[in-house]
Structure 1
């Protein structure tokens, strides 16, 4: 087989294909080149960055300018592990940073390699969350089946007693037994989650969000406000409309209860490219954010909210969020949560590629 010749642009294409951010600087610490990953990580375009001082082009590196100047003067590199880079107003990012002296033509410069660790840390966290969810569901499934069998026997015995003692006094007691058994049966069924096979077809995520918004808005007092910020370019995904509505509805109702009759609930949609969910990398993912300005979730609870029967409300069942996580997981997605006082954000990530729609 004859191989095609490598083009002159191959080095730039190779750099753009790396998952490491690569930046080269000249002797004056001006940006000479920047690859696609660096553009994404730092939110800057190469057209703007090239030719600018690195401290101006990439604000996250501004506090480290003196260290870069020293490396240039001494002609020696350095490595920083788990370095926190931040820009005003943005979340900090954790990276491994390697700086190496570089020869640029007849001059000298620096090569900066930055490996974002947040993605790897998030993948590990997602995989652990999914494993915990699966183990929890398996335990609940086994317990639920063990509980359902004696409940059926109790209900049957109560019906026989009702038949043998039809007088009103005994009938009142048997009715209580049957009602309580039915209530427990219903709780067990909810613990088991949806038992029907998903009916997957093209679904518009904004139609799902609007349907849920209208449902909750109809029961909300005037003090609750809904904000919408949708990305109209998001294509349809392959999914079960009713299950997705249920997943979103559980989260929006939680937000509604968190604001307690006076607050704001924001619904946002965005696309994420080359995004990893539970170890699987997807070309395109829809991100749906549901944010409320309530008091927030205590740090001690944030890692437990997706477990069944965990709730912060006396009247809550603790089943809404686990069911939402399960329904989203059957679509190849995942739900994450970040919370602080005044801002709780549940983010639903749903793959938009065809292989996700084929999942059971």
Structure 2
């Protein structure tokens, strides 16, 4: 455990603040009333705030909900011994991202200095994200194989059903009876189209150098035409994003599926309206599953809709899973499949009032190193 900065003797070789600032783990020090005394550089980065902004202020003013961490601190003070907690959920007041952290909390007392509590935090969000992405990639592979086998099993009898209905139609003189065979034929065609959608494109991506913003502009215009008047579409682009090698038609379809989902989510509350933000960023040394890429394009569709229902979050990318009564449950499954053909992945984060779907597309081949 790291010592309180005040405990280092005068004239020590190293400046205690510099030692703590050199650590990759986040260090917070609070007094027994849980007022913030110190944050190191890693903690400033993790919570998106400078130590000068929060020094002397209650811990509750740093975190959206500090109850879980406060309970650990109280327990450490009460027993006067170190306490550890794993996978604690925290969200900074100064950032929208929810963090999953492991923390060690220890009371500290030194002669001549007030008693304090030192909190050592390791960000477990990255590890959790890699685990989630690996599960998604496994899910994609398994569901794709299952869908293709099931689709072929469905298409064969559908063809026979349609052919039999056509033959029967030719034998019927009564126009009223032929209406029934027309229904059979049209429903068989509808199911065949649904199966083709499940199967996805029958060819490998035809990649070419593409400006992703050109595709996003096209998708944005289509979404604006579909969106109600009280839904605004905003753009937040990173102009430094270099061209990518993509199949433009497949990626447009994937982005269009995400965008239309966002429009439909906001449209559930017709009177309130809302906002959709199309955002691009470049990420460096980013992991997609177990593979690390030097550069990754990040394309986000953010909406202010009601959020993804909790019971759907683990199965959202499965085919035929939908939260809307009129939904087919194919849009996200198809989008995930199309992006995975480019070695990419779609992730999402959601809470009531803010949902973000993120497309990750690598620029280059993966590094030799694998994600830990």
TM-score interval, smaller chain: 0.7 to 0.9
Distance 1:138 1:162, change over 3 A: same
**Corresponding position: 1:93 with 2:104:** no
Per the TM alignment, residue 189 of structure 1 is displaced from its structure 2 partner at its CA by: 0.8
Per the TM alignment, residue 145 of structure 1 is displaced from its structure 2 partner at its CA by: 0.7
Per the TM alignment, residue 355 of structure 1 is displaced from its structure 2 partner at its CA by: 5.7
Per the TM alignment, residue 318 of structure 1 is displaced from its structure 2 partner at its CA by: 0.8
Per the TM alignment, residue 296 of structure 1 is displaced from its structure 2 partner at its CA by: 1.8
Conserved? CA contact 2:349–2:357, under 8 Å: yes
Conserved? CA contact 1:309–1:317, under 8 Å: yes
Cα distance in 2 between the residues matched to 1:349 and 1:245: 14
Cα distance in 2 between the residues matched to 1:211 and 1:196: 23
Cα deviations across residues 95-142 of structure 1 (Å, max 9, x unaligned)? 445799xxxxxxxxxx99864311111111111122122212211211
Counterpart of 1:142 in structure 2 is 149
Conserved? CA contact 1:21–1:41, under 8 Å: no
The counterpart of 2:198, out of the listed 191, 200, 203, is 191
Cα deviations across residues 20-45 of structure 1 (Å, max 9, x unaligned)? 5488x9xxx989x96xx87864658x
Cα distance in 1 between the residues matched to 2:47 and 2:284: 15
What's the secondary structure of 1:300's corresponding residue?
helix
What's the secondary structure of 2:296's corresponding residue?
strand
Cα distance in 1 between the residues matched to 2:167 and 2:38: 87
Conserved? CA contact 1:30–1:54, under 8 Å: yes
Cα distance in 1 between the residues matched to 2:26 and 2:305: 41
The counterpart of 1:287, out of the listed 298, 314, 335, is 298
Per the TM alignment, residue 230 of structure 1 is displaced from its structure 2 partner at its CA by: 0.6
Cα distance in 1 between the residues matched to 2:86 and 2:304: 35
Distance 1:137 1:336, change over 3 A: same
Per the TM alignment, residue 313 of structure 1 is displaced from its structure 2 partner at its CA by: 2.0
The counterpart of 1:323, out of the listed 331, 334, 338, is 334
Query: Superposed, which structure 2 residues align to 1:51-200 within 5 Å?
Result: 81-82=86-87, 87-90=92-95, 91-96=97-102, 115-163=122-170, 165=171, 167-169=173-175, 170-200=177-207
Conserved? CA contact 1:60–1:85, under 8 Å: no
TM-score scaled to structure 2, two decimals? 0.71
Distance 1:95 1:219, change over 3 A: closer
Cα distance in 1 between the residues matched to 2:328 and 2:186: 18
The counterpart of 2:357, out of the listed 322, 346, 354, is 346
Per the TM alignment, residue 161 of structure 1 is displaced from its structure 2 partner at its CA by: 2.5
Counterpart of 1:312 in structure 2 is 323
Give the unaligned 5+ runs of structure 2.
1-22, 30-36, 64-68, 107-117, 368-372
Cα deviations across residues 306-340 of structure 1 (Å, max 9, x unaligned)? 11111222221110111011111111111112222
**Corresponding position: 1:271 with 2:278:** no
Cα deviations across residues 274-306 of structure 1 (Å, max 9, x unaligned)? 111111111111111111112222211222221
Conserved? CA contact 2:294–2:366, under 8 Å: no
Distance 1:310 1:83, change over 3 A: closer
Give the unaligned 5+ runs of structure 1.
1-17, 101-110
Query: Superposed, which structure 2 residues align to 1:20-35 within 5 Å?
Result: 20-21=24-25
The counterpart of 1:208, out of the listed 215, 221, 243, is 215
TM-score scaled to structure 1, two decimals? 0.73
